[in-house]
Amino acid sequence: MTEDILAAILVIVASFAGAVLTLLTLPGTWLSVLVAVGVAFWRPELISWWTMAWRAAWPCLPKLWSWWPVRRGQRGVEPASKGR
């Protein structure tokens, strides 16, 4: 029971830290993903691997969304990370 509470506190603190890092334009989403993966290995009954797969894919979706028009050949559209 105590380990479950500790795992929940770790995930919550890492999520808030990730949000703050994201506001500072740092890769904070990956911090929360890494901590959640660590908790999933440590306490697999708390977080399912389907949830982890979705959580890891979620930060990739905006990047894919910005590349979609570029790959289709639309003019005047640049990828989000070009030169930045």
Q: What is the pLDDT of residues 35-52, one digit of tens each?
A: 888 888 888 888 888 888
Burial of 82 (0-12, 13-18, 19+ CB in 10 A): exposed
Closest of 49, 37, 51, 31 to residue 7, by C-alpha = 37
Distance CA 71, CA 22 (A): 27
Whole-number percent of the chain with pLDDT over 70? 79
The DSSP code sequence of 16-53 is HHHHHHHHTTS-HHHHHHHHHHHHHHH-TTTS-HHHHH
pTM of the predicted protein model: 0.61
Q: Tell me what pLDDT residue 73 has.
A: 63
